[in-house]
Amino acid sequence: MLAGDVDTGKSVLRKYINGTVGFVKLGEDLGRSPKTLMRMFSPSGNPQAKNLFEIVAHLQKLEGTVLEVVARTAA
């Protein structure tokens, strides 16, 4: 997603959510409709950055993980 491949990023997040917490529980936790969340990560979905970062932050908290971005120079 950070490299510009938003479609693959949304697909990976959708699969991750389905394989872990699920959209129903995620919706309950965030006070959102599971269907709305599913649409955000559909091929035609377009999640706003605020929503995307809120979801990623919540998933990190649930899983006890931290995603980190590291800058590197191209070879």
- Token readout for 75 is 């070879």
Residue 63, pLDDT score: 87
The burial of 10, by beta-carbon neighbours within 10 Å (0-12 exposed, 13-18 middle, 19 or more buried), is given as buried
Q: Is the pTM for the entire model greater than 0.85?
A: no
How deeply is 31 buried, as exposed, middle or buried, from its count of CB atoms within 10 A (0-12, 13-18, 19+)?
exposed
Q: Where are the domains of the chain?
A: 6-63
- Over residues 4-43, the pLDDT tens digits come to 788 898 999 999 999 999 999 999 999 999 999 999 999 9
CA neighbor of 29 nearest in space, from 21, 39, 38: 21
